[in-house]
Structure 1
Amino acid sequence: MSRTELSGDLITYSGADQPVPALAIVADRRLSAAALSALLLKDPSYQIARREHGVDQVRAMLARERPSVMVLDVHAPALFALLDASDFGVRMLLLLDPDDDPSIFAGARSHGYLSRRASREALQAAIAELYRSGAYLDPLLMRVRGRRAPSGLSLRERQILVWIASGRSTKEVARACAITPKTVGNHVNNMVQKLHLRHRGQLVIYAAQQGLTTV
């Protein structure tokens, strides 16, 4: 892939409720970046402050502007290493197709995942929730991936399994699911029993075997 095939828009928000001070839209296709930005710009409170093309230029923009949230829509896993969220102190919202291979996005170190089929309202809600709580997982993606997991686990248990296997702490999972850490622990214990495992650590291995993440 050419190093010029990456585009990024820096978007600010001027509304009173301010779901996020500033965010970046980054995609490996110019049309994708433009379309996502246009989706947000239907709300006049959103404005494009800067637009860059090329990996080096986009990385420089992220390093300089330090947006709170980055919406990432890329199709080449190799770009994940170049856009590591930890390099820029940003919370990353990764866009996925419902049938994407989970082993690919598991290495992206993202804080949230949203379906590419999401509406403008869903995109705005995901950005606001990610900025507020530090985590977001699209229920649509969970429903699709849930069909691949054993029917013995509930939807909530499968959701928690993905977060735990991705390296999230109990407190982070609790915030993402809007439940208490104690409730997360109860779900974990239930999963260990249902899957006939010995301890929580084996859940990560189990998730990898099911194609839900990588180890």
Structure 2
Amino acid sequence: MQLKELSTRSAVSTASIKYYLREGLLQPGEAVTATRARYDEKHLRRLELIQALRQIVGLGIEQIRAIVSLADGGAPRLEVLATVQRVVLRLDPHDAGSSHDAGEGHVRARPGDAVVHLRGWPDEESDARDALDAQLALMERLGIPLSAEILDAYSAAMDTIAGLDLQLTAAAADLDRAILTAAVGMHMHSQLLLKLLALAQASHAIRRFD
């Protein structure tokens, strides 16, 4: 298909398509002449991904570029999805600082170690683990109680939800579709979880105090 048909089928203006081409978010089409190119279904899927990341997830051009450049560069799917998670959930990638050597070759315990071991999750470095460490350390500094029972209940629920989410992502036929499913899913599901939690808290409060 040519640019006009690509614009019609994707519902993206030709000006926007040309902008995405200049920015490297969309791969060039197959050259037909010096001024014309042919596009295919891969371009349609990429435009769908870009529009979803911009309009639904609310990402900017640089954030989208960080994701699609990995995909176009042949990065492993795990690395691409980790980047999607970091960008979409706005995880702070800084190291919580609790896993470095403690002076004599000893490794200090990290705040999230108990959860990782409790759930049997891989004991691997990730932005998600650093973010959890930082959150738990902050709560401890603020004197917010967090019992083993609460961590067990919360992490068990999240483990189940994450497994369901990953089934959808793993079923995607290509990487662009996997990114779309993961990014939109992370964004919308995280909002859904917050709303469900709010309703559950309100319901418990009504039963107890009303």
TM-score (normalised: structure 2) = 0.32
Q: Which has the higher strand share?
A: 1
Q: Which has the higher helix share?
A: 2
TM-score (normalised: structure 1) = 0.32
Which of 1 and 2 has higher RCO (CA within 8 Å, sep 6+)?
A: 2
